[in-house]
Structure 1
Amino acid sequence: MKCARCLQQLQSLRLVGQSARSTAQYGAVLQSASSSQPSILHNTQHQVLRRFHRSPACAKTPPVKFIKEEDKKKDTSLVTQDGLFEQVPEDAKTKATFNKVVDIFIKRDVRRRGHVEFIYAALKKMPEFGVERDLSVYNRLLDVFPKEVFIPRNFIQRMFNHYPRQQECGVQLLEQMENHGLMPNVETKVLLVQIFGEKSHPIRKYQRLMYWFPRFKHLNPFPIPHQLPEDPVDLARFSLTRIAGDRDAKITVYQLPCTDVTESGEQVTLPHIVGIQSPDQMELLAKHNLSRPVFVEGPFPLWLRKTCVYYYILRADPVPEEEKVEEPYDPERCLDFPLQLDLDYDRDLGDEESFDVDDLDEGPVFAMCMTSQGDQSTLNQWISGLQENNPVLGQVPTLFRLEAGPKELQGAGVSESEDHERAEPEAPREEEAEYTVEEEPRRRRSQ
């Protein structure tokens, strides 16, 4: 062992000696060159320093370019991936075309470069192709992710959110499914496990959807169908039935939409008029004081998913306190359950005594209707039709309080906004237009 160590020490000493000799020889050469030939010294120094010489491209530092925010947005946008969907013409945007675009992206590159940007662009364009509520299309987009690449291998990778950008994209896809009310299936789970592993954020999102969706599926007692009726009369019937709280309410179609040609050759479009009234409302209207007017008010908006419709009401002012008459009740009408309870509740210090429910009385509502043209002449036809079952309307003055409704979105059936824009603006609320329907029905009957 000692001999081996001695040999190693001797070798190291030889290397040190050789380096010292080369340094001394190089110094002597420089000294002789400086005394005899100065040009050789200059060339030698130039050769020694040449290895540290910078190139002209590195010597001149390029000017700093300030990137604008608009350019940053353009660079990070989905222009390149949106181009695949923008090339599809408007009349050819279907589910089959959408799947073809996905197939083109999958076959273009084996490594699926830019798959995150493509999936975000596809989620954005799904409503244009009409596939935002198709579960198979969402599974097709999940299949775009490379398999078994983003799965964490140990607990440290799971803890530090392995591949966060891809996991965030997967969660965004599941959130869009949640917004459209789609429940994942077994194929969705298999794809998520193959892409992100069993303990990832998309899998947790999948588990939350599978836990809460079955519990909230039938929570709404008045569900709205996903496909609303396209016929405006059927849509008005569905809307009025949803507004009315009485199952005994009867829907009446006073006028169907039609197009008529006058003697002068002018084309006239008649709007539809659909109304609803319950037996209790008819009873209240029959007991209405003849000296007090009734009012036709509207339009009031009603949203059915992404479609907005408008309705009008026939109502009266609240009955004054001095005119209210309490109807006596029969205590023997129901022996098991009393119809009136006299309970004296103790008030707490935090109770507010100034609030009174009676102050919020807005008066009775006698009927409701929907029409595609909310002008006064159209609503007069509705009042005339109501008078057949409510003769008291021939003796009560009718006042119209019509306002210009906001523009509504294009939905199923006839667009209500276009009809309201064509209608002339009515008188403001302060200037009420009085109209008594007592003479109008008589004149029509005589004719």
Structure 2
Amino acid sequence: MKCARCLLRLQGLGLVVPAATRCASLLQSTTAPVLTKALVAFNSHGEVLRRFHGSPPPSADLKETKETGDCAVLAHDDLFERDAKTKAAFGQAIDVFTKRDRRRRGHVEFIYAALQRMTQFGVERDLAVYNRLLDVFPKEVFVPRNFIQRMFNHYPRQQECAVQLLEQMENYGILPNVETKVLLVQIFGEKSHPMRKYQRLMYWFPRFQHTNPFPVPRPLPVDPVDLARLGLARIANDLDAKVTVYQMPCTDVTETGEEITLPLIVGSQSVEQAELLAKHDPSRPVLVEGPYPLWLRNVCVYYYVLRADPLAPGEKVEQPYDPERSLYYPLQLSLEWDRDMGDMGDDFDVDDLDEGPVFAMCMTDQGDQATLNQWISALQETNAILGQVPTLFRLDAGPRQLWNAQDGGHRPQPPPGPAQQEVDVTLEEEPQHSRGVKQ
């Protein structure tokens, strides 16, 4: 037995003469089962060797795939190129990949491809889908077995892929659960980079989950009326501002049989804004400006404002503050503090920009002059001074309607028709000053 082992080792090193080689082959043929088992199971010191993970013989489908092209190309492209972009189709693609090969060859490329296509299937906010993608990793293969492997970032490519998956969960605001932790421990161990990323998410997410005092609902309302109400209530300076639907979108038939589509008009005005408009000088015109963008998560809506130019410095009249207006927070403090010797003067370098008062705001489907003129006419019922004040329209060349949440984009707008001529309404195309609005 010892002679046979020595001959086999010399044969592997290439140091055996032809005669010895024939002798070794003869001995190997006679004692093949015993030697093979001894060499596979034990080393020279009698220690048990670690077995390699083997795969079952490839099926007929895999043989055809390897003959036609690369298996990874099929897994990344053909598995996700389906007609129905649904959650069930996405889960079916994961099942096909996991059942194809027990060793999960190409799992990193597959997970990266799946992360890029999650928005197409609408599963980018589904925690169960992320856990299924983590389950694609082979188990107990990438776990470090000593401190040296742990120190040198054992299997960095696989760990980086798992961290990228957790970062995508973080970007969409998804909190991991216990199943995510169990999968990470089985795949990479407790002292790994993905596990540290999981611990950071579990530490910070619960602390910042309810810190926003003005949260935006998820999902956003699909109805344009509800979306306009949400946007106007969000940018209103007064929480008690009244949101009014002046006109619902509908289709009307004229006497001649022509169909006319009436746009949506939703406006917002507070009591304080109505008082400012009632005190406005009728000789000074009011301005209708817009559209201004407002982002609600990943949806952009547009609004218009009714405002006036700021008064000249000599025309401003400062009114004294009413001390009983706010009993909890004083609006004015008159304190004489002892100033330090390092103070250079009494003036502070503060940029005070007066942009003028804002009287009302609105959102509409069609931002042309005729539609906004209907909004001004509806405001005139509660603000009689608008019948005496000239109105100037300063409209930018941009989107002319509210964002449609169902289409996911802007619908093409027909070319605007001729503007209606009125006595107290004029159009000014080029603005002469900044049109910033305080929000």
TM over 0.5: yes
Matched, 1:362 2:362: no
Matched, 1:82 2:76: yes
Deviation at 1:369, TM superposition (A): 0.1
Matched, 1:319 2:307: no
Of 114, 126, 136, the match for 2:118: 126
Of 232, 241, 255, the match for 2:233: 241
Question: What's the secondary structure of 1:298's corresponding residue?
Answer: strand
The range that moved more, 219-228 or 418-427, is 418-427
Of 101, 110, 121, the match for 1:109: 101
User: Aligned partners of 1:241 and 1:332: how far apart in 2?
Assistant: 27
Change (3 A) 1:357 1:207: same
User: Aligned partners of 2:169 and 2:372: how far apart in 1?
Assistant: 43
Question: What's the secondary structure of 2:377's corresponding residue?
Answer: helix
The range that moved more, 420-429 or 382-391, is 420-429
Matched, 1:418 2:411: yes
Q: How does 1:289-368 map to 2 (within 5 A)?
A: 289-329=281-321, 340-344=332-336, 346=339, 353=347, 355-358=349-352, 360-368=353-361
Q: How does 1:395-410 map to 2 (within 5 A)?
A: 395-405=388-398
User: Amino acid of the residue matched to residue 260 of structure 1?
Assistant: D
Question: What's the secondary structure of 1:212's corresponding residue?
Answer: helix
User: Amino acid of the residue matched to residue 362 of structure 2?
Assistant: C
Structure with greater helix percent = 1
The range that moved more, 212-221 or 262-271, is 262-271
Q: Is the 8 A contact 1:229 1:413 kept in 2?
A: no
Change (3 A) 1:411 1:377: closer
Question: What's the secondary structure of 1:299's corresponding residue?
Answer: strand
Matched, 1:371 2:372: no
- In structure 1, what is the equivalent of residue 163 of structure 2? 171
Matched, 1:202 2:194: yes
Matched, 1:215 2:207: yes
Question: What's the secondary structure of 1:323's corresponding residue?
Answer: coil
The TM-score, its normalising length taken from structure 1, stands at 0.73
Deviation at 1:245, TM superposition (A): 2.4
Q: Is the 8 A contact 2:80 2:93 kept in 1?
A: no
Q: Is the 8 A contact 2:291 2:303 kept in 1?
A: yes
Matched, 1:381 2:374: yes
Question: What's the secondary structure of 1:417's corresponding residue?
Answer: coil
Change (3 A) 1:410 1:277: closer
User: Aligned partners of 2:153 and 2:256: how far apart in 1?
Assistant: 76
Q: Is the 8 A contact 1:311 1:368 kept in 2?
A: yes
Q: Is the 8 A contact 2:80 2:90 kept in 1?
A: no
User: Aligned partners of 2:232 and 2:86: how far apart in 1?
Assistant: 34
Deviation at 1:136, TM superposition (A): 0.4
Give the fraction of aligned pairs with identical amino acids, expressed as a percent: 68
Change (3 A) 1:292 1:112: same
Q: How does 1:16-95 map to 2 (within 5 A)?
A: 79-89=73-83, 92-95=84-87
User: Aligned partners of 2:305 and 2:260: how far apart in 1?
Assistant: 26
Of 243, 258, 268, the match for 1:251: 243
Matched, 1:266 2:258: yes
Deviation at 1:320, TM superposition (A): 1.9
Change (3 A) 1:339 1:134: closer
Q: Is the 8 A contact 1:132 1:180 kept in 2?
A: yes
User: Aligned partners of 1:220 and 1:388: how far apart in 2?
Assistant: 37
The range that moved more, 284-293 or 421-430, is 421-430
Deviation at 1:286, TM superposition (A): 0.5
Q: Is the 8 A contact 1:133 1:182 kept in 2?
A: yes
User: Aligned partners of 1:184 and 1:131: how far apart in 2?
Assistant: 15
User: Aligned partners of 1:279 and 1:150: how far apart in 2?
Assistant: 65
Question: What's the secondary structure of 1:310's corresponding residue?
Answer: strand
User: Amino acid of the residue matched to residue 393 of structure 1?
Assistant: L
Structure 1 gaps, min length 5: 1-74, 433-447
CA deviations over 1:134-193 (Å, ceiling 9, x no partner): 000000011100000000000000011000000000001000100110000000000000
Deviation at 1:336, TM superposition (A): 8.9
Deviation at 1:265, TM superposition (A): 3.5
Change (3 A) 1:333 1:158: closer
- In structure 2, what is the equivalent of residue 25 of structure 1? none
Q: Is the 8 A contact 1:85 1:125 kept in 2?
A: no
- In structure 2, what is the equivalent of residue 227 of structure 1? 219
- In structure 2, what is the equivalent of residue 6 of structure 1? none
User: Aligned partners of 2:270 and 2:206: how far apart in 1?
Assistant: 36
Question: What's the secondary structure of 1:301's corresponding residue?
Answer: strand
Structure ID, larger Rg: 1
Deviation at 1:428, TM superposition (A): 2.5
Q: Is the 8 A contact 1:316 1:364 kept in 2?
A: yes
Deviation at 1:340, TM superposition (A): 3.4
Q: Is the 8 A contact 1:372 1:414 kept in 2?
A: no
User: Aligned partners of 2:93 and 2:263: how far apart in 1?
Assistant: 44
Considering only aligned residues, what root-mean-square deviation do their CA atoms show, in Å? 3.0
User: Aligned partners of 1:408 and 1:116: how far apart in 2?
Assistant: 44
